[in-house]
Structure 1
């Protein structure tokens, strides 16, 4: 379902013609060509980091990406540029970091970078949609405990022209911004409720006195 701000009409989308393959169900009206297909390892460089959790410094200058949604800090950087970071174990297919700048990363975190003929952020959104399904296909269980480099490299990526990629990224980035603003509003409202709740109800004085008497042996 599209909201009023992101309706098909407002963002100029059209539905997929039945005779075309390798294209999404919706796309911008001015584009018609089929999407290309390549493996992720052929359009990017994929490596793991060399740092451990002990290298973390809360006062560090640079972001330090570990196997978590949380971003730590460190006083070194091993890469400067655009990259996607995903954990090699843990919550595989659920954690994706996009970064453009100086950073360091854990030895069990994969860095996907040096993109060839594709927008890094286009791949970032593509992985959010498809990577978990891809990883599960290469797992013997219903979950993915760990991830090996060949599995990432072999992932098939469908992608359009750079111009269309930029249009897709722009739209999804706007939606992300809206989500972030709504989450901030939610946090403010939640804190406000807590304050009002504390003010609307009196303290349970009798319970406080009972605890005090018990502590003092009375």
Structure 2
């Protein structure tokens, strides 16, 4: 039952994304009271790239602390100090574990970022960072990558990516909706893990 609900949630999310992030001037599925066409923007026009502040630190030289230390695929460690402070999008530069679900992460507050992920910050408060994260995740990043075994997303290529954006309130509503769906998906995954662990416990301890 839990597995079936999880599959249904994933299918629903994918269907929503396809109808919202469309090639048309506006999506085929929208919140009520929004009717304006979405406008095309290059990433370089709506975000600043803050890669110059990145500092890679080998594991043996990191000082333990409370600041999340980010690599291409997310948090790798917690360290003392920080390289960035604010609200950012982290887009894997190289070393992505799954290029079919390309790592794009929303990070807030003090963070430490190494040299394997690009750091983007919205140029103004008229961009909802959560919406922007999902818009980037929906793109097929594979066609923009270069290199062989360790595929790379060059900064120049990334900043020229074009995205369609609605007005801020609609961005916010879409971002919150998809985030809530992701929370539900995570909760179902956790429940399934607990059920599987319980089954394993029963098999190991009751049927000897």
Q: TM-score category by the smaller chain?
A: 0.7 to 0.9
TM-score by length of 1: 0.75
User: Does the CA-based 8 Å contact 2:144-2:153 persist in structure 1?
Assistant: no
**Number of residue pairs matched?**
187
1:187, 1:115 → 2: CA distance? 41
Q: Secondary structure at the match of 1:26?
A: coil
User: Is 2:114 the partner of 1:106?
Assistant: yes
- Label 1:28 to 1:51 Cα distance change in 2 as closer, same or farther (>3 A): same
Q: In the alignment, what sits opposite 1:12?
A: none
1:167, 1:53 → 2: CA distance? 40
Whose relative contact order is higher, 1 or 2, with alpha carbons under 8 Å and at least 6 apart? 2
Q: Give the CA deviation at 1:70.
A: 4.3
Residues 33-83 of structure 1 deviation map (CA, whole Å, 9 limit, x = unaligned): 1001110111011132122333444x3220000122443111111111111
Which of 146, 153, 156 pairs up with 1:150?
156
Q: Please list, as runs of the form range in 1=range in 2, the aligned pairs for 1:69-218 lying within 5 A after superposition.
A: 69-91=74-96, 92=99, 94-116=102-124, 117-130=126-139, 133=140, 135-139=141-145, 145-202=151-208
Which of 35, 45, 48 pairs up with 2:48?
45
User: Does the CA-based 8 Å contact 1:88-1:108 persist in structure 2?
Assistant: yes
User: Does the CA-based 8 Å contact 1:136-1:144 persist in structure 2?
Assistant: no
1:98, 1:170 → 2: CA distance? 13
TM-score by length of 2: 0.78
Query: What runs of 5+ residues in structure 2 fail to find an aligned partner?
Result: 1-6, 14-18
Q: Give the CA deviation at 1:25.
A: 2.4
Q: Give the CA deviation at 1:187.
A: 1.8
CA RMSD of aligned residues (A): 2.8
User: Does the CA-based 8 Å contact 2:95-2:116 persist in structure 1?
Assistant: no
Q: Secondary structure at the match of 1:60?
A: strand
Q: Secondary structure at the match of 2:171?
A: helix
Pick the structure with more helix per residue: 2
Larger Rg: 1
Query: What runs of 5+ residues in structure 1 fail to find an aligned partner?
Result: 8-14, 203-218
User: Does the CA-based 8 Å contact 2:131-2:171 persist in structure 1?
Assistant: yes
Moved more, 106-115 or 138-147: 138-147
